[in-house]
Amino acid sequence: MVQLLSILLSAGVSAGLWAAWLGWDQQRDVHPDGTTTGPYEAWQVIGLVVTLLVPVCWAAYRHHVVGAVLGTTAGLTVAAYCDWSDDSSGLFAIGVGLVMLGSLVATLIVSAVIATAARDL
């Protein structure tokens, strides 16, 4: 029961942080030469990653590694899907898959390091 609660809490926090950092910015920037960038700026993604470190490290330190990894991955994956699913090209699915894979690997590494360090204390 505690494991499920940890997963759900991590997923909710992750989706909420996605909304706070990335959910409000939906416009692409058009440059004078006609190229487009965005919709996100680098500082938004960096802010999301840095603020996600806090709940992931806290959960891993409390030995809720599964919740930190699966919850964060699920929350970010669902948030990315909801944010990008209106893309008519269908390429959003590749982006969502990359978010899922990247967040899974990153949270697994961070959680393993924190849990190991906490065990050694």
Model confidence, pTM:
0.91
**Phi, psi (rounded to 5 degrees) for 30:** -100, 125
Q: Name the residue among 25, 15, 21, 24 with its Cα closest to residue 80.
A: 15
65-108 pLDDT, tens digit each? 999 999 999 999 999 999 999 888 889 999 999 999 999 999 99
Spatial separation of the C-alpha atoms in residues 72 and 26, rounded to whole Å? 22
Average pLDDT, whole number, for the chain? 92
**Phi, psi (rounded to 5 degrees) for 3:** -65, -45
Spatial separation of the C-alpha atoms in residues 82 and 79, rounded to whole Å? 5
Spatial separation of the C-alpha atoms in residues 121 and 68, rounded to whole Å? 20
- pLDDT of 2 > 90? The answer is no
